[in-house]
Amino acid sequence: MRNIAKAKRHSVAITVQKGRFSYIPASFFVKRGDIIEWRCKYPFAIDLGWESPLHKERHKVGPKRTIGDRVRSDAPYGRYKYFVAVWDGKNIWTDDPEFIVRRDG
């Protein structure tokens, strides 16, 4: 298991303009114990489904328009697609980006 003191925080900015998503960073790698934090100026939701490598499968936005969670210490290595829904005040836009859980070391 990875030492939580060495855990890295990954911050992902989500922007949507007329249904076109962009992410900074566009793709990213995490390790067990790392923290992923998504941010968006609009209300949004993240869903990783039942096979989530994070502690929670589904997330809803808080008042700061930020969603974050720690990668489980037993998360299987590999690629994880996740569902993003963003409400811009008129429309709900959706996308399915991914991130990769890498082996430690």
Domain chopping of the chain, boundaries: 4-101
| CATH level 3 topology of 4-101 | Immunoglobulin-like (2.60.40)
Quote the pLDDT of residue 3.
56
Nearest Cα residue to 97 out of 86, 85, 84, 87: 84
Distances (CA, A) of 94 to 7, 13, 56, 78, 105: 30, 15, 20, 23, 34
Give the ranges where 1-105 is alpha helix by DSSP (H): none
Q: What does the angle CA 32 – CA 37 – CA 40 come to, to the nearest 5 degrees?
A: 155
| One pLDDT digit (tens) per residue for the chain, 105 residues | 555 667 899 999 999 999 999 999 998 999 999 999 999 999 999 998 888 999 876 777 766 789 999 999 999 999 999 999 999 999 999 999 999 999 875
Quote the pLDDT of residue 77.
96
pTM attached to this predicted model: 0.87
Task: Return the number of other C-beta atoms located less than 10 Å from residue 49's C-beta.
Answer: 11
Quote the pLDDT of residue 72.
94
Nearest Cα residue to 64 out of 48, 35, 42: 42
